[in-house]
């Protein structure tokens, strides 16, 4: 090691304080803009028994703040994962969770989200009844499930409301960090039109704050079923009153499939029956599309088998939960969804879709149920896009597991009826169906419609998974060349499942997914493994971080590009200008030579599209080019 250097290569990142910057390759600690750790691998030994004290120290919690354990499981690698929820003065802080990962009684790492709450009054001025009226006013439905006899079938009742703290969702940036609100949370399930969401109402002012959608729009006997989309399949049914029905109880607590008869009242649903357990096309391939129920039933069975076989997960809740499917919902209904309790399938209009019970759609929708019991990604913007993307991942993986001769990388190809479309989405070529394959690239949705483009921007995660599984090379929308050697869909699925079951939290973003994808690959296959290399290079391919072996910094991410942006940065030979048209860009590859001992001026020129605010800026310096900013 040389003790004297004539010149020093200085790599730097300039960011507004509203940005969160951190290293993403070879990192042991990632922080938000307030230097609060989002992810850290411990270098010292700490007993898991002192985890709560440890979190208090690491997060520098105020006396009124606390993290309370709520869930724990031990994985196949011998790691124990304990999930903690954030509270303030005894009130839950929504989306504030940390996960502590331990082995042999010692904490190995931890990750999560801490939302700062400053001296908030937790005594509401608004009554629950008044807040509930505000929530109903916001939803504006014609009919609600608590007035429907179907409610008892899915363990749903009229919500009484829960007092919570709703944090500022600007992703722990420096702006408006104290803007947490005391709120009432209501689980509002509407039946006409169909919707279900957690509605948050300000407990002081009555203002609507947020809607977190729950509905995400797609005696044992062996029978033979002529399915609508997958040919002849063996299904399990039960014998009842001299005939057979689509119910079976060999998988978890059971799989049941019901006929809604184009109605919307779940309590009026009836069994599909057959007199000899040979569910033939002559009987069920009719104008009512009754053979679609055979796909739904077989698809639920295959989905259960996939999760227990590949991931040792006992149904969507990992506790054997019954999978109930309701077919023929409404008239010509072009949707399928998991409503938080059961699966619902429409028959399709024939103009857009056929009956929405194909295998990959069933796997996708039940994948939403798995998500609700794991990472529980918020259904909006990047979190929501990944929620959709992970469901596509499970839809494709389940199709490959149960029907490998189908087109694994097309989602919904069996039900697609729109002119000029091969499927709902293509994971191998997202752009062919109007999705982006590069983060903030071509086709990236920027508006608030579709909960912030969740069904569009999921294409980035879809393409990442395809590349990890199969591999590929090319040039992305940023002009970056990439080459990925695939590791196969089974190993890729192990990594994806570990991401959602161990590391990701409800507010995780694409940059977080990169960190946790790489860490999951290291956990499962080792540092420097083909899996770690493939995962890293696939993230690079979709525009998030550098290729394996490169020093990579943040995927720059602005929160208010429509108002402000950095227009110019000058340092020595660097004189870089940028605009706001396509959002913030990552210029961390730009470098300049600086001489030790000399003074230099960094000039940052802000641009404003409207009101000029008082703004601060941070300069992060990586002195030794190791990918982090904690150098001495």
First to last CA, the chain: 16
Q: Can you tell me the distance from the alpha carbon of 81 to that of 519, in angstroms, rounded to the nearest whole number?
A: 14
The β-bridge partners of 605 are 568
Residue 621 burial (CB < 10 Å; 0-12/13-18/19+)?
Answer: exposed
Q: Are 551 and 626 in contact (CB under 8 A)?
A: yes
Q: Can you tell me the distance from the alpha carbon of 556 to that of 553, in angstroms, rounded to the nearest whole number?
A: 9
**Residue that the structure tokens 């990962």 belong to:** 101
> Cis omega before residue 300 (within 30°)?
no
Neighbours of 310 (CB within 10 A): 16
Q: Are 410 and 430 in contact (CB under 8 A)?
A: no
Nearest alpha carbon to residue 439 among 471, 462, 422, 473: 462
**Active-site pick, 301, 365, 388, 433:** 365
> Cis omega before residue 193 (within 30°)?
yes
Q: Can you tell me the distance from the alpha carbon of 481 to that of 489, in angstroms, rounded to the nearest whole number?
A: 23
Would residue 40 show up in a list of annotated catalytic residues for this protein?
Answer: no
Q: Are 266 and 330 in contact (CB under 8 A)?
A: no
Would residue 421 show up in a list of annotated catalytic residues for this protein?
Answer: no
Which residue stretches of 280-377 are H helix? Answer: 281-284, 291-311, 359-372
Supply 503's token pair. 């590391």
DSSP per-residue letters across 547-561: PTTS--------S-T
Q: Can you tell me the distance from the alpha carbon of 566 to that of 475, in angstroms, rounded to the nearest whole number?
A: 27
Q: Can you tell me the distance from the alpha carbon of 419 to that of 62, in angstroms, rounded to the nearest whole number?
A: 58
C-alpha dihedral, 53 to 55 to 57 to 59, nearest 10°: -150
**Active-site pick, 297, 311, 328, 455:** 455
Residues labelled as active-site residues = 365, 455
């Amino acid at each position: 090691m040389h003790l004297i250097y004539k010149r020093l290569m200085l790599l730097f990142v300039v960011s507004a304080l509203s940005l969160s910057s951190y290293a993403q390759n070879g990192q042991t600690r990632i922080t938000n803009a307030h230097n609060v750790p989002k992810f850290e691998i411990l270098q010292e030994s700490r007993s898991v028994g002192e985890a709560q004290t440890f979190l208090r120290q690491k997060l520098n919690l105020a006396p009124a703040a606390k993290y309370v354990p709520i869930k724990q499981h031990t994985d196949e690698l011998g790691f124990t994962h304990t999930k903690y929820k954030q509270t303030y003065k005894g009130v839950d802080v929504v989306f504030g969770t940390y996960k502590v990962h331990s082995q042999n009684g010692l904490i190995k790492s931890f990750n999560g989200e801490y939302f700062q709450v400053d001296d908030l009054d937790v005594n509401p001025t608004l009554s629950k009844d008044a807040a509930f009226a505000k929530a109903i006013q916001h939803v504006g439905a014609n009919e609600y499930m608590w007035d429907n006899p179907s409610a008892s079938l899915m363990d749903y009742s009229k919500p009484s409301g829960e007092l919570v703290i709703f944090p500022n969702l600007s992703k722990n940036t420096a702006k408006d960090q104290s803007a947490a609100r005391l709120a009432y949370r209501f689980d509002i399930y509407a039946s006409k039109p169909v919707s279900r969401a957690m509605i948050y109402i300000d407990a002081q002012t009555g203002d609507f704050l947020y809607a977190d959608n729950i509905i995400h729009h797609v005696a044992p006997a062996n029978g033979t079923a002529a399915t609508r989309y997958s040919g002849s399949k063996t299904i399990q049914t039960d014998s009842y009153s001299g005939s057979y029905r689509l119910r079976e109880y060999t998988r978890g607590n059971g799989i049941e499939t019901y006929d809604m008869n184009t109605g919307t009242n779940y309590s009026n649903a009836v069994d599909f029956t057959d007199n000899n357990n040979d569910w033939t096309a002559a009987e069920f391939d009719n104008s009512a599309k009754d053979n679609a129920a055979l796909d739904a039933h077989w698809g639920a069975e295959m989905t259960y088998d996939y999760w227990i076989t590949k991931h040792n997960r006992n149904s969507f809740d990992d506790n054997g939960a019954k999978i109930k499917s309701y077919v023929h919902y409404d008239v010509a209904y072009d949707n399928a969804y998991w409503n938080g309790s059961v699966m619902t399938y429409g028959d399709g209009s024939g103009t857009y879709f056929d009956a929405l019970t194909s295998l990959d759609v069933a796997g996708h929708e039940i994948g939403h149920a798995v998500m609700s019991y794991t990472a529980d990604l918020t259904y909006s913007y990047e979190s929501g896009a990944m929620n959709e993307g992970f469901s596509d991942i499970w839809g494709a993986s389940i199709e490959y597991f149960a029907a490998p001769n189908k087109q694994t990388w097309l989602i919904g190809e069996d039900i697609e009826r729109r002119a000029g479309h091969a499927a709902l989405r293509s994971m191998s070529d997202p752009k062919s169906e109007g999705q982006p394959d590069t983060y903030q690239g071509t086709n990236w949705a920027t508006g608030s419609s579709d909960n912030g483009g969740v069904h569009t921007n999921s294409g980035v995660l879809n393409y990442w998974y395809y590349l990890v599984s199969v591999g590929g090379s090319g040039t992305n929308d940023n002009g970056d060349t990439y080459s990925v050697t695939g590791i196969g869909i089974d190993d890729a699925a192990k990594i994806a499942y570990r991401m959602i079951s161990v590391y990701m939290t409800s507010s995780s973003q694409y940059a977080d997914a990169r960190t946790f994808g790489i860490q999951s690959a290291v956990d499962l296959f080792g540092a420097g493994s083909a899996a770690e290399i493939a995962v890293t290079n696939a993230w690079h391919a979709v525009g998030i971080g550098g290729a394996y072996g490169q020093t990579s910094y943040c995927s720059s991410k602005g929160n208010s590009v429509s108002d402000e942006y950095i227009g110019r940065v000058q340092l020595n030979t660097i004189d870089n200008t940028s605009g706001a048209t396509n959002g913030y860009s990552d210029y961390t590859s730009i470098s300049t030579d600086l001489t030790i001992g000399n003074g230099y001026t960094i000039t940052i020129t802000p641009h404003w599209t409207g009101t000029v605010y008082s703004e601060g800026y941070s300069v992060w310096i990586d002195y030794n080019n190791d990918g982090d900013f904690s150098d001495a």
